[in-house]
Amino acid sequence: MLWIASLWLLWASSILGAPVNKQRQKVLLISFDGFRWDYDRDVDTPNLDKMAKDGVKALYVTPPYLTITSPTHFTLLTGRYIENHGVIHNMWFNTTTTEKMPYYQTLFINEWWDNGTLPIWITAQRQGLKAGSLHFPGTASSYQGQVAMVREWEPPLYNYKNETTWRENTDKVMGWFRDQDLDFISFYFGEPDGTGHRYGPDSPERQEMVKQVDRTVGYIRQSAEQHGLSGHLNIIITADHGMSTVYRNGLVEEITLTKIPGFSFGDLSFHLVDYGPSGMLLPKPGMLEKVYNALKGAHPHLHVFKKEEMPERLHFAKNDRILPIILWADPGYVINGYFPVQFNKGEHGFDNEDMEMKPFFRAVGPAFHKNLEVGPFETVNIYPLMCHILGIQPEVNDGHLNATKHMLVTSATTRDKNMNLLQNVFTGLAAVAGFLVVVFIVMTSHKILKNKRKNKRSENSEHLPKNEKTKQTSL
């Protein structure tokens, strides 16, 4: 009976010691560029509403400053503020040659992206997972010689509005999960940003584009189900920034730098202006104070800071790529250089504290609670959340899992306690089982040896002469 008990304990310990191994959790990170936190308030969005009921909805999230596309998307991928990850602008530039590259060309300039911070694709792959990306800013670059395992970037002059293409791309991504067993994918849509720029965030055109986004959210979840992914795929949908209406047509006094007394572009070696409400200036040697003093206080809606004086809350100073003087305008205003050349009705790039710069957030999947609305948090916290769900060790980052773990069905602390408990139970039972097995072996060996000795004595007795048998008997 002892050996039966030992085997039973070994079996029990193996069952209890094994992790609760549901199918490995996967993560799909989706960005709808420029989707402001309140865009679902003036439009019927049944699919986004259902996603909130089936999962988690945040009131809003706060992006990092500078609130433009490439820098804020790289924060989603790294969990780092922009001064720390170094992708400080949509445009690559060289202050020595005064060259500048527009957004699309900058996507392919490797050194702009690969400057010490690893996106989640590379971290996941280094820890044995498979990762991919479709159209997400940063996809075309390599990082320390590595790239996302499966990747695709948009061609030049890409039509970001085509709903049919959106569905085709969705099925492609779900196919990557199913057929290539990817664990993580980042997936980018260029709307409603383009529509918000062209027509303004309060326009009927923007409302129609939000309806298209909502239909696509429904299709994404439907496609996940059709590909057999619903039970282990967690979908996180957010955006890089919001959108503000630009004031024009004589409604306000526009900001035009050449109209400011005492300011001259001749005092600059390099500048980035005419790209919305933000700008950076590199004065010529010895001209910094002159430029700064001319601009400071020159317009009631223009903020001017020396790099070292930037508010700490913006985390936009401690990087060599950031130029010595930083400008940004109040919501509704853009910064013009020589004369107004910007004609968008909507813009972003404003202070990230402004409510119109806040994006939306939804999450659904087996890792998340259902029908839970949470308060606002910073988008740097999405990275550690994704790493936790994937079960990977994050790189150094500026986020905290504590900011989001209340969204999860099992928090990190509870999970770790449960795993420790299982490990302790396993260790204890394994020790008991091992001891019993040793006892069983010793007792069995002893019994076998005893029987062998008895048999040997019997055999020897059979071969003794008759008188010797009698002596032994008498003895």
Write out pLDDT tens, residues 130-167: 999 999 999 999 999 999 999 999 999 999 999 999 99
The pLDDT score that the predictor gives to residue 400 is 98
Write out pLDDT tens, residues 50-71: 999 999 999 999 999 999 999 9
Q: Is residue 4 part of a domain?
A: no
The pLDDT score that the predictor gives to residue 137 is 98
3-state SS, residue 61 = strand
- Could you give the number of structural domains in the chain? 3
* Contact present, 328 and 357 (Cβ < 8 Å): no
How are strands ordered across the β-sheet holding 325-329?
Answer: 268-272, 278-283, 325-329, 302-306
Q: Within this chain, do residues 396 and 312 fall inside the same structural domain, yes or no?
A: no
Q: Within this chain, do residues 286 and 174 fall inside the same structural domain, yes or no?
A: no
Q: Within this chain, do residues 121 and 267 fall inside the same structural domain, yes or no?
A: no
For 368, which DSSP code?
A: B
Q: Within this chain, do residues 123 and 150 fall inside the same structural domain, yes or no?
A: yes
Write out pLDDT tens, residues 229-279: 999 999 999 999 999 999 987 788 999 999 999 999 999 999 999 999 999
Domain that holds residue 137: 22-246+351-409
3-state SS, residue 77 = helix
Q: Within this chain, do residues 82 and 219 fall inside the same structural domain, yes or no?
A: yes
For 359, which DSSP code?
A: B
Q: What CA–CA distance (Å, rounded) separates 108 from 113?
A: 9
Q: What CA–CA distance (Å, rounded) separates 355 from 342?
A: 23
Q: Within this chain, do residues 91 and 47 fall inside the same structural domain, yes or no?
A: yes
Write out pLDDT tens, residues 74-124: 999 999 999 999 999 999 999 999 999 999 999 999 999 999 999 999 999
CB < 8 Å & 24+ apart, contacts of 126-130: 127/392, 127/393, 129/183, 129/184, 129/390, 129/392, 130/180, 130/181, 130/182, 130/183, 130/184
Mean pLDDT of 317-333: 97
Residue by residue, DSSP assigns 117-169 as ---HHHHHHHTT--EEEES-TTTT--BTTB--SEEE-PPTT--TT-HHHHHHH
Q: Within this chain, do residues 260 and 293 fall inside the same structural domain, yes or no?
A: yes
Q: Is residue 384 part of a domain?
A: yes
The set of catalytic residues is 69
pLDDT above 60: residue 425: no
For 57, which DSSP code?
A: E
Helix, strand, coil shares of the chain as percentages rounded to 5? Answer: 45, 15, 40
Q: What CA–CA distance (Å, rounded) separates 384 from 394?
A: 6
CATH for 318: 3.30.1360.180
Q: Is residue 275 part of a domain?
A: yes
Mean pLDDT of 398-412: 89
Radius of gyration in angstroms for the set of CA atoms belonging to the chain, rounded to a whole number = 33
* Contact present, 227 and 221 (Cβ < 8 Å): no
At which of 319, 343, 367 does a domain end? 343
